[in-house]
Structures are given as structure tokens and as C-alpha cells.
Amino acid sequence: MSDNNKVSFVVFSGDMDKVFAALIIATSAAASGMEVSMFFTFWGLKAIQKGNLTGKGFLGRMIGLMNRGGIERIGPSRFNFGGIGRALFKKMMKDKNVVGLNELLETAIDLDVKLYACKMSMDVMEIAEEDLIDEVSGLMGGAGYIKEASESSVTLFI
Amino acid sequence: MSDNNKVSFVVFSGDMDKVFAALIIATSAAASGMEVSMFFTFWGLKAIQKGNLTGKGFLGRMIGLMNRGGIERIGPSRFNFGGIGRALFKKMMKDKNVVGLNELLETAIDLDVKLYACKMSMDVMEIAEEDLIDEVSGLMGGAGYIKEASESSVTLFI
Amino acid sequence: MSDNNKVSFVVFSGDMDKVFAALIIATSAAASGMEVSMFFTFWGLKAIQKGNLTGKGFLGRMIGLMNRGGIERIGPSRFNFGGIGRALFKKMMKDKNVVGLNELLETAIDLDVKLYACKMSMDVMEIAEEDLIDEVSGLMGGAGYIKEASESSVTLFI
């Protein structure tokens, strides 16, 4: 056991399977009594968006159209045959009684997992603070993240 | 040097190049005298499958068709021009006397690298324990992984 | 805070957005007074190439044609609609006064971030030492990387 009891992730990917893996590890760690902080950056921000179109300018709208936010809209990174991938993945998880992304995110919040949003990515991608779910613990930059990470015994980039 | 001597990976990706990188780091660490544990989850499970079709149900068969298991069937994540990618990569590795995936996996096993399979991913993807190679050290969930990781000085998500 | 003050990354990906994230975290950590080492391997090597074609043999030329080196040629991993992706990303970063990849790399070098190239990947991909930018701190293998990583409080695979 390390000299501290904290886990910190960078959630960079917006792929459903990776966000799923991140949330599974996060809730497992929190349930084991560890402090957990997740730093959502770039495409990962989708996981903590409200589900609205993002951005107001033309470029922001283009990205918004491609990446409509909200955790239920995230696609899987693999076997996406004609858009069936996501439905297939959901059905498999349901058949097997594995919880979905939304339930996992709620569980993480219940277990006091801290959710931080990357300020710079929000600026670049034209995502406003009000576009994020209310449970977000705060906005951070690279310096804030590295402080969290240097206090953690487990650090992952997902 | 940290206060411990252990390395733990999550091998999430099934891309040949990433599995290759994971095994290179794992064998390097083990050869340096460190304890190494690899936690294979999602697509990463392909690396420790026997090479048989996975799953018995319809959905499992579909995924099986796309992801026929076994480490020699893994494709590279990049430059996959018409399926040539894997052969090209293999040829280059051979020309350069770099060992292949199977040899690397055998080396890892010889060096006592622990190979764990993610129980939940196996359920979702309909992979049974007998589909995995015999050298797998055991099945684990998120809680088991996080315990391994919190005891490790190096943690990577690959 | 861990018992050491060092960060080490594996930069495996050659996708612009991931290299960008790696450099942001690296410069943030270095600016916070931490020691930072980046180990560029596989596609990540593009970030520290001079911008020349890589490789001399036929296979090397094929890869060179696909992966012309140099940090300004790296494409984004997502929203690459017909090659517009990179230009779009650059424009957004410029509009928002976010620095580009080249400036970030220069900043990292100014802050004494160590840049290591993976010897084995260079062999496989036919990249010579003179193809790399002069600021590269040295070549390393897996054993060298794992030593760096085991001395670090933050370890990421990007």
C-alpha cells in the first residue's frame, strides 16, 4: 500500500467503452474507501455534459453536431457497425444485468467521486459551465490536475 | 524509487500495437526484478484468449466474428490499409529481429508476470474461463484491480 | 504528496489531440517544479521527428508516406472529416489563444522536460537518430523507461 489513498484519472476519451471502464474503476476504488478524482478533458467532457448541443459559434456548432453531449449519447470506440454498436452494447449490458453509464455516473456521485472539468478544453470546444451537469465539483487546469495526481497512488490516462 | 516494487497495467485495448507495447513494458519490468500484474479487460481480453470463437449466444457470436480471440489475430490500431497492416507489422518486426506477440506473451509468463482477466467484461462479452489460455492467473473485478494498483508504484491504462 | 517529485509519460499515440494533452500536462507539471520525462514510442515518435520522411527501405517509406514526421503534421484522432480536422482544431486553438503544438513542445524544452525516444520503435519503424529533433535527451528501451517510471509519483500511458 502506498503512503496515500487516492486515485486520479484523466478521462480524455469520449468513447463509451472507455468512459464505462473509467467509471467502473472509479466506483470500485471509491467503494474500497479510496478518494477518487476524475479530470474530464477533451472528448471526455461529453460524459459530464447535460445532453445539450455544445458551443454557440459556427465551429462550436459543428463539433456540437458531431459530439452532442450527455453520457447517453456516447458511442463505443469499436464495433460501431452502422451505428448499431451502442444499442448492441446496451442490450448486452442489460441482458447481463450490468448497469448503464448513467447509473454508473450516479453511483460515482453518490460515492463522492470528484468530477472536475478541464477549463482549457471547455474554452477550445466552446462548452460553458452551465452545459455541465450540476454535480461537477469544479473546473481545473493542467496545474490543478497535476497537483491531484501527485497526491495519488494510482494515476491513469483513459 | 518508490516504497514498493510493483507495476500494474489495465490492458483495455485489443490493438496489436498497444498490446505489444504493454507486453514490452511488462517483460522489461519483470526482467528488472519488479512484480508485474496485467489486468485484461474489454478488447484487451483478446490477448489472452485461446484463439477460438467467443460466446455462444447470437450477440456473442457477432462479437466473436469480429473479434476472433487469440493474440495472433489482433490487428494494429493504425495503418491497416486493407488488412495488410498486420502482415506488414509482423514482417517489419521479423526483419528487425523484434519478437512477435506470442513470443512476448510466453516471455512474460516465463518471467512470472501475472495475467488477470476482468470478470465483468467476460460476462458482457460472453467469454468463458475455458476460452482463456491456461496461464491466466485468475479472474478479478474492479475492486481486485484497484487493490493491485494501489500497491503499485507504476500504474498504466493501455 | 508522494515521496518523490517526478512525472513520467509514455507517449504512444501520434494523434494530435493526445500529444497536445501530453504536452499540456508535461508543461504544467514542469512549471509546478516537478521533474518530467516523456518516453516517445511507436506513433508518438512523430512528435519529436524533424519533419522529414522517415525510413529508407520500402516498408519504411510506406510508413513514412503515411506518417510524415514532425509535430505540425500530426492529425487529430477524432472529427477528421476529409482532412479538415487538423485545420479546424488549429483555428479553434488560435481563436481561443491556446498555443499550438510547436509552441508547447518548445515550452516543454525550455522548462527542461526530458524527451526520450524509444530505441526499439525507431528500429522497427526505420527512424534514425538524425531524424529526431536535436533537443531529444536520449534513446531508451523498455528497461530505461521502467526505471524512470518506478521513480515517478505520476505515471501515464497516452
* Closest chain A C-alpha to C156 CA, distance in angstroms: 6
Q: Which of B9, B25, B97 to mutate to test the interface with C (most CBs of C within 10 A)?
A: B25
Of the candidates B4, B10, B143, which has its C-beta nearest A32's C-beta? B143
What pLDDT is attached to residue B70? 65
One digit per residue, the tens of pLDDT, for chain C of length 158 reads 444 699 999 999 988 889 989 999 999 999 999 999 999 999 899 899 986 433 344 444 444 544 555 666 665 565 444 455 566 666 666 676 667 788 889 999 999 999 999 998 998 888 999 999 999 999 999 999 999 999 999 999 99
* A105 SS3 class: helix
What pLDDT is attached to residue A52? 40
CB A92 within 8 A of CB B124: yes
Of the candidates C59, C142, C147, which has its C-beta nearest B92's C-beta? C59
Is the CB of B28 less than 8 angstroms away from the CB of C143?
yes
| Contacting residues of A for C79, CB less than 8 Å apart | 63, 66-67
* Closest chain A C-alpha to B105 CA, distance in angstroms: 23
What pLDDT is attached to residue B69? 59
Q: Which of A9, A56, A146, A153 to mutate to test the interface with C (most CBs of C within 10 A)?
A: A146
Report ipTM for this prediction: 0.77
What's the rounded Cα separation, in Å, for the pair A10 and A144?
A: 12
What pLDDT is attached to residue C54? 37
Q: b/e string for A104-138 if b means 16 or more Cβ within 10 A? A: bbbbbbebebbbbbbbbbbbbbbbeeebbbeebee
What pLDDT is attached to residue B73? 60
Find the mean pLDDT for residues B9-32: 92
CB C154 within 8 A of CB A150: yes
Give percent above pLDDT 90 in chain A.
51
Q: What is the DSSP letter of A132?
A: B
Of the candidates B17, B21, B29, which has its C-beta nearest C146's C-beta? B29
What pLDDT is attached to residue A3? 47
What pLDDT is attached to residue C62? 45
What pLDDT is attached to residue C101? 81
Chain B segment 82-121 residues within 8 A of C by beta carbon are 88, 91-93, 95-96, 98
Helix (H) or strand (E) holding A110: helix A101-110
pLDDT surpasses 80 at A120: yes
| Contacting residues of A for B146, CB less than 8 Å apart | 7, 25, 28-29, 32, 34, 154
Give the model confidence (pLDDT) of B49-71 as tens digits.
986 433 344 444 444 544 555 66
Better-scored residue on pLDDT, A63 or B44: B44
Give the model confidence (pLDDT) of B99-142 as tens digits.
778 888 999 999 999 999 999 899 888 899 999 999 999 999 99
Give the model confidence (pLDDT) of A58-95 as tens digits.
444 444 544 555 666 665 565 444 455 566 666 666 66
pLDDT surpasses 70 at B31: yes
The pLDDT-based confidence of A17 (bands split at 50, 70, 90) is: confident
Among A21, A37, A35, A4, residue whose Cα is nearest residue B157: A21
How would you list the strands of the sheet with B114-118, edge to edge? B138-140, B114-118, B35-40, B6-11, B154-157
Find the mean pLDDT for residues A1-17: 82
pLDDT surpasses 80 at B82: no
Pairs of residues, one from chain A and one from chain B, whose beta carbons lie less than 8 Å apart: 76
Q: Which of B62, B150, B153, B154 to mutate to test the interface with A (most CBs of A within 10 A)?
A: B150
Of the candidates C29, C79, C98, which has its C-beta nearest A63's C-beta? C79
Report if pTM > 0.90.
no
Query: Is B154 in the A-facing interface, judged by CB distances under 8 Å?
Result: no
For A57, residues 6+ apart whose C-beta sits below 8 A from its C-beta are A126
* A136 SS3 class: coil
pLDDT surpasses 70 at B80: no
Better-scored residue on pLDDT, A65 or B95: B95
DSSP string, chain C: --S--EEEEEE----HHHHHHHHHHHHHHHHTT-EEEEEE-GGGGGGGB-SSPP-SSHHHHHHHHHS--SGGGPPPSS--GGGHHHHHHHHHHHHTT---HHHHHHHHHHTT-EEEEEHHHHHHTT--GGGB-TT--EEE-HHHHHHHHHT-SEEEE-
Return the partners of chain C (3 or more C-beta pairs < 8 Å).
A, B
What pLDDT is attached to residue A101? 81
Q: Which residue has the cell 482463456?
A: B132
Nine-digit cell string for B118:
476482468
Cβ-based neighbour number of residue C156 at 10 Å: 27
Question: What rounded mean pLDDT belongs to chain A?
Answer: 80
* Closest chain B C-alpha to A93 CA, distance in angstroms: 6
| Contacting residues of C for A147, CB less than 8 Å apart | 32
Query: Is B124 in the A-facing interface, judged by CB distances under 8 Å?
Result: yes
What pLDDT is attached to residue B38? 98
| Contacting residues of A for B158, CB less than 8 Å apart | none
